[in-house]
Structure 1
Amino acid sequence: MRIACPHCGPRDVQEFSYLGDATPQRPDGMDATESAMADYVHQRDNPAGSHRELWYHGAGCHAWLVVTRDTRTHAIAAVETMAQARAGAPA
C-alpha cells in the first residue's frame, strides 16, 4: 500500500505508523464522566468500507495525516493533513 503524503509525495506504508480511527471526539475536559472517558479510550468501531484513520509519517516529514481508506480493499480515497481535516477542507 502507498500513501500519498501531501508533503513528500507517494510513499510506502512502511514509512508510516497507524494510530487508529480519526473520528472519535474527546469528551469535554474535567466535566466528562468516567463512563464517557472509558468509551472514548476503549470503544472503537471496526467498519467494513470507507474509514478515516490517523497515520504518522515517521520516516518522512513527521506529519500527522488523516487517510480515508476502504478497509476491504485498502484503496485510499483521500489524504489530508491534520490542519485540513480540522478545518473541514477537501482533500
Structure 2
Amino acid sequence: MQLIPCPWCGPREEVEFHYGGQAHVDYPAEPAALSDEEWAKFVFFRDNPRGPFAERWSHSAGCRRWFNAVRDTRSYELLAVYRLDEERPVTT
C-alpha cells in the first residue's frame, strides 16, 4: 500500500484518495463558444507522458480537500505534493 502525503493531514493510505486527472488544465473562458470537437478535446484529451506528471488528487476519506501531486508515471513514485494555490515544484 502506498502512502500519499496530504498537505493538510499528512501521510495516509492511498485508498483514502481519489484521482482527479491532469493538473493545471484551465477551464475554457467561454465554454458555450466551443465547437463539439473543441469541447471533446478539452474533456477527453490529456497529456500522457512517460515520467513526471502533475495530477489532481482529492483526500476524499479525510479532509476532502483537493491538492496537486507530481507523480512519475514509470514508477508511480510521488515526487512532490503541493496545494492548489502553490506553484508546481521543480522535480528532477
TM-score tier, shorter chain, comes to 0.7 to 0.9
- Equivalent residue for 1:72? 74
Unpaired runs of 5+ residues, structure 1, are none
Q: Greater shift after overlay, 62-71 or 30-39?
A: 30-39
- Equivalent residue for 1:21? 22
Measured on the aligned residues, the alpha-carbon RMSD in Å equals 1.8
| Structure with greater helix percent | 1
- Equivalent residue for 1:34? 36
Give the aligned length: 88
In 2, Cα distance between equivalents of 1:81 and 1:61: 13
Which amino acid letter does the alignment assign opposite residue 45 of structure 1? D
Unpaired runs of 5+ residues, structure 2, are none
Q: Which runs of 4+ in 1 moved over 6 A?
A: none
| Alpha-carbon spacing, 1:69–1:89, altered in 2? closer, same or farther (3 Å) | closer
In 1, Cα distance between equivalents of 2:88 and 2:13: 25
Percent identity over the alignment is 39
